[in-house]
Structure 1
Amino acid sequence: MTDVSSPLVSPLADLLAHALAYPEAWEDHPWGETVVKVRQKIFVFLGRDGDSGCHVTVKLPRSGPFALDMPNCAPTGYGLGRAGWITATFAAGEDVPSDLLRGWIKESYQAVAPRKLAALL
C-alpha cells in the first residue's frame, strides 16, 4: 500500500482517496473531469490543467467568503459560484494545501449529502 503522504502520490490522488472515504461516495467522469459524488450529487471536482497544474472545486457555504480571500481561489464558472461553489487553482510546482482542501471537501460533502449521511461525520 502506498503512503498518501509520500511525494510519489500526487495531491489530486490524495484528495480523491480522501473524498472517496466518505459514506456512499463514488467516482465519476462526466465532461472528461474527475468528480466525486454522494448518491447522484457532485461534491468535489478534481481536475488537472494539462502540465500546468490542477484545480479543486467544492461547495463552501460556511467558509466560502474566507476562501475567496485567497489569491488562487475564485467563484466557480457556469453560474455555480452564485450557489457557493469555489475553485482553487494551483500552478505546476506550487504547494497544494492538502489539509485545507481536505477540510473543504468535508464541508462540501456535508453541504451536498443527504442529512442522514452528513450526520455520520
Structure 2
Amino acid sequence: MPRKAQPSDKVLKSLREFGLAYPGAHTKSPWPGHLDLAVKDKTFTYLSIEGEPFSISCKLPQSHSEALWLPFAKPTGYGLGKSGWVTATFEAGEEPPMDLFKAWIDESYRAQAPKKLVAQIGK
C-alpha cells in the first residue's frame, strides 16, 4: 500500500541531501521505516522515510542539553540518549525546523566521522 505524502517529506528529502554532501556519507537502512545517514557505516543521523511522520535522531555532544529543552525533543531510546543522542518527532501536518536539523546533522557528523574526513570540511 503506498504511503500518503506528508508535508514533512520535502524536509526529509532536503535533510538527507544535506547530509549526503559530507565526505564519505551514504545512506543506510538498518530496519524498515528508516533511511539513515552514515559515514564509514557508522550512523550519524536516523531519519524516518517519506510518507511516515517526521523523526530525526542525532548525536549532539555539545548541544544535547539545550536540544532537550525543545518541546518536540527527547533522549533517543535504546540507551542512545545516555550517549548524547536526541530524537525529535512531529505529528503529520507539522513542518519541522530545517535549519535547526541541519545544525544537528553537522554536529552529529563531526561526532561520528573519522577525524580525517571531518578535517576536509573545516570548521
For the criterion TM > 0.5, the same-fold answer is yes
Please state how far the C-alpha of 1:90 moved relative to its aligned partner.
1.1
Partner Cα distance (1:93, 1:118) in 2: 35
Partner Cα distance (1:8, 1:40) in 2: 26
Q: What is the match of residue 35 of structure 1?
A: 36
- Normalized per residue, the structure richer in strand is 1
Please state how far the C-alpha of 1:8 moved relative to its aligned partner.
9.8
Structure 1 residue ranges (4+ consecutive) displaced by more than 3 angstroms after TM superposition: 48-51
Q: What is the match of residue 116 of structure 1?
A: 116
Q: Which runs of 5+ in 2 are unaligned?
A: 1-6
Partner Cα distance (1:87, 1:36) in 2: 14
Partner Cα distance (1:55, 1:16) in 2: 12
Deviates more, 1:103-112 or 1:9-18: 9-18
Paired residue total: 114
Maintained 8 Å contact 1:49/1:55: no
Partner Cα distance (1:58, 1:92) in 2: 21
Partner Cα distance (1:67, 1:8) in 2: 20
Q: What is the match of residue 95 of structure 1?
A: 95
Identity of aligned residues (%): 46
Partner Cα distance (1:80, 1:19) in 2: 20
Q: What is the match of residue 26 of structure 2?
A: 26
Partner Cα distance (1:8, 1:59) in 2: 21
Maintained 8 Å contact 1:35/1:46: yes
Maintained 8 Å contact 1:76/1:85: yes
Please state how far the C-alpha of 1:95 moved relative to its aligned partner.
2.3
1:72 has 2:65 as partner: no
TM-score where L is the length of structure 2: 0.86
Q: How large is the RMSD of aligned CA atoms in angstroms?
A: 1.9
Q: 1:113 to 1:9 in 2, by over 3 A?
A: same
Q: Which runs of 5+ in 1 are unaligned?
A: 1-6
